Amino acid sequence: MTKAYFGTDGIRGLVGEAPITPDFVLKLGWACGKVFAAMSHGPGRSRVIIGKDTRISGYMFESALEAGLVAAGVDVSLLGPMPTPAVAYLTRTFSAQAGIVISASHNPYHDNGIKFFSSSGEKLPDSVEQAIEAELARKMVTRDSGNLGKVNRIADAAGRYIEFCKSTVPTGFHLEGMKIVVDCAHGATYHIAPSVFEELGASVTCIGTSPDGININSGVGSTSPEALCQRVKSEGADLGIAFDGDGDRVLFADRNGLLVDGDELLFVIARHAVAGSAGNTGVVGTQMSNLGLEVALGELNIPFARAQVGDRYVKAMMRERGWRLGGESSGHIICEDATSTGDGIVAALQVLVALIEGGESLDQARSHMQKLPQLMINVRCSTAVAPLENEAVAAAVSAAEAELGARGRVLLRPSGTEPLVRVMVEGKDPKEVENMCRKLSAVVEKELV
């Protein structure tokens, strides 16, 4: 069944334009409340937890969601600014019916969105999203005053999540003597991540920890890692860690100021798991994962599989195969031995454990995997499109694939969160990769923009 509002990661768009408007989010809260209340089997009212990142519009949408849920007779617990994975964790620990995050993740401040977690801290199944959309088509009716929901604020949410993050590393593990630069993207990890690493003993230099409502992801964070790379070099740090606006993605910089992406981080974690004989070590990547990851894992006899792009598809394939590790090049990494969803801080800690227990620096650990040259160009389109349905685009892709042959691969896909077509070319020759990617992007821009 086609969904009118939900994309690959909740509902997202430009603030003030449908559906990211206060009136729609009010009704969305009511519709969610109706669905979650119907799903509840326990005594009393259902309870929903709401967290948000640091965007200025978050206050507006928090109030709208709160009002809609209360009108449907659902109790609400407010967390304030909290990383997306923290909301997943706290939804589980408080036995809430669902968790809601107000965030547009790595997008700029003028976008916002609403994403959801089930009571188990996982993304909602399609059936529940469809049920919410069905309620959105109905008239909003407020419960009588005696049956309205109640609202409270969880004051110690940050401390609870900090302790959870620290609990995911082995007993006695510490970061004493390590100098780390931490970039929080002026986002939801600004008051969480520095404390986690400092309390484990690291010397921490912070950037991106002064949110003002509009500077989220602006020139800092995992979408703009240049600031991190430069700061690592100028500080003489051992490494740097960059999160995105809502804290579910992480990238590193090594001591030389060179960026280390999600594919390389997955490899570092998986290689350490093999060295420690840690159970089933299969890894799920995506269609965008670098071929070098697949080759390097193969040399270690670690099974590898590609899912569709999107953490929900990665998670679904992990569950299908019984594997515990998966992720994306963007740094969205799921370490299911530790938590239920992609978590930037938890993934960063798993990398640090691998480095310290393996006795290697990050640049040494990453050197065991050789990435193939890969270039991706985002072509902005006016609406969501299926690029290969265009004859000229499909013909250009076929010609590029024939020219590359066994030397590489081509992938075109529409973004699930923005009106973009992502054009990716990968191969052994960097000049050939760049020329081909730019040529294909020009065709996409001509035909689809």
40 is catalytic: no
Q: What secondary structure, in 3-state letters, does the chain show?
A: CCCCCCECCEEEEECCCCCCCHHHHHHHHHHHHHHHHHHCCCCCCCEEEEEECCCCCHHHHHHHHHHHHHHCCCEEEEEEECCHHHHHHHHHHCCCCEEEEECCCCCCCCEEEEEEEECCCCECCHHHHHHHHHHHCCCCCCCCHHHCCCEEECCCHHHHHHHHHHHCCCCCCCCCCCEEEEECCCCCCCCCHHHHHHHCCCEEEEECCCCCCCCCCCCCCCCCCHHHHHHHHHHCCCEEEEECCCCCCEEEECCCCCEECHHHHHHHHHHHHHHCCCCCCCEEEECCCCHHHHHHHHHCCCCEEEECCCHHHHHHHHHHHCCCEEECCCCCEEECCCCCCCCHHHHHHHHHHHHHHHCCCHHHHHCCCCCCCEEEEEEECCCCCCHHHCHHHHHHHHHHHHHHHHHEEEEEEECCCCCEEEEEEEECCHHHHHHHHHHHHHHHHHHHC
Catalytic-labelled residue, pool 103, 105, 119, 441: 105
List residues with catalytic annotation: 105
